Amino acid sequence: MARRVVITGMGTVNPLGNNVKDFWRAVQAGENGIGLLDRFDTTDFTSKIAGQVKDFAPEKSMEGKEARRMDRFTQFAVVSSLEALADAGLAPGTADPERLGIILGNGIGGIETLEAQAHRVYDKGPKAMHPLFVPMMISNEAAGNVAIRVQAFGPCSVVATACASSNDAIGHAWNIIRDGDADLMIAGGTEAPLTPLSLAGFCQLQATSTRNADPSHASRPFDKDRDGFVMSEGSGVILLEELEHAKRRGARIYAELAGYGATCDATHLTAPHPQGRGAIRAMRLALSTAGLMPTDVDYVNAHGTSTPINDPIETKAIKAVFGEHAGALKVSSTKSMTGHLLGAAGGVEAIVSILAIRDQFFPPTRNLEEPDAECDLDYVPNKGYKGRIRVAISNALGFGGHNSVVLFREFEA
């Protein structure tokens, strides 16, 4: 029989807060984390807005020299993982290292380091490159650095399935614990994509919002006036723990991770299947692995990117899975507040889903002023509220047709 897996710790760095407490307070208040991008000159960019992490100080969690040897996406991962471990009542080195593992999701690795070092090589020649360029830039070093910092000798890897990366990392970690190969897994995602190269690429795809004169209203999932997503940065991780292991050490349990589903549309490099084929199957797989019916679900944290194509297709997929029950569901997109953290989005939204269950609170969809006619579900417009949540699912739908869904439920002994 597969072992049960619970969540005992969480950590985040994102545009709404540099820890879980501040982040959740901002989500409940429906606050805005998006503004004009000031990291570099955006004069020639069609999109000039982003969700930036504010007042981030990695030196509070590690030595300054250590931080300087990491790309920003790795710094985010280390800080969030340390918060999750502390939240679970554990200190680095106190868990059995051979039974602790790390799986993180990431989309584009250390692109900040890549761009900076490319300029140095082109301008000054190869000897000008930083000697740690490779370990600062490659995606797996986020998990590697976390493992070193927390002394985790178990499975350690990075998943790269675009915007589905975090959910896939959480799902893979769930399976590792269920199969008995670890007792504790740090899982989620991290991303630091706010660079000229990255932003220019998404602008050229015409995927990003150009509501530059009004950044706080730029991310507006399911609204008829949405015009694209807002790129953001940050990380979100959770500590997964085998139930009996958690009980033996008297750990506080937030919720249970009970289901996971992953599929591929195999249709288009960037657009979802027109009928939501892969998203439908992923949600159904998550329900099936949890042994639940569609009517058991109370809340859906939607992928909800605020793009013209994605939102109605996800709505269509939700209606196909839940049938008549879709009208009773509460659905929201917290990207309306955070923007889109790409490979880290699912990690942050897993935290939202877990805390929604803990506090019995439906998070709002900010900026939903006039719903698209094709988006006709209850998206909790603009103001969150209390309500009964037994089961929540979180959707992540990525470029390449990757679909990943995780299902959390209220913990019952």
Q: How many residues does the chain have?
A: 413
CB neighbours of 308 closer than 8 A, spacing ≥ 6?
Answer: 226, 227, 228
| Both tokens assigned to 30 | 């429906």
Q: What angle do CA 286, 16, 112 make, to 5 degrees?
A: 90
The Cα 359–Cα 361 span in angstroms is 5
Which position among 245, 273, 303, 402 bears the catalytic label?
A: 303
Q: What are phi and psi of 102, to 5 degrees?
A: -135, 130
The Cα 14–Cα 390 span in angstroms is 26
Q: Is 303 a catalytic residue?
A: yes
Q: What angle do CA 263, 352, 246 make, to 5 degrees?
A: 85
Which position among 273, 340, 375, 402 bears the catalytic label?
A: 340
Task: Give 60-128 as a 3 state SS string.
Answer: HCCCHHHHHCCCHHHHHHHHHHHHHHHHCCCCCCCCCHHHEEEEEECCCCCHHHHHHHHHHHHHHCHHH
The Cα 355–Cα 393 span in angstroms is 12
CB neighbours of 412 closer than 8 A, spacing ≥ 6?
Answer: 256
Count helices and strands (H / E) in the chain: 13, 14
The Cα 167–Cα 174 span in angstroms is 10
Which position among 163, 203, 245, 273 bears the catalytic label?
A: 163
Q: Is 340 a catalytic residue?
A: yes
* Among the listed residues 404, 167, 408, the one whose alpha carbon sits nearest the alpha carbon of residue 282: 404
Residue 354, SS3 per DSSP? helix
Q: β-pairing, 100-105 with 156-159?
A: parallel
Within 10 angstroms of residue 122's Cβ, the number of other Cβ atoms is 10
* Cα–Cα separations (whole angstroms), residue 5 to 251, 276, 335: 13, 29, 27
Which residue's entry shows tokens 């030196």? 59
Q: Give me the amino acid identity at 378.
A: D
Q: Which residues are identified as catalytic?
A: 163, 303, 340
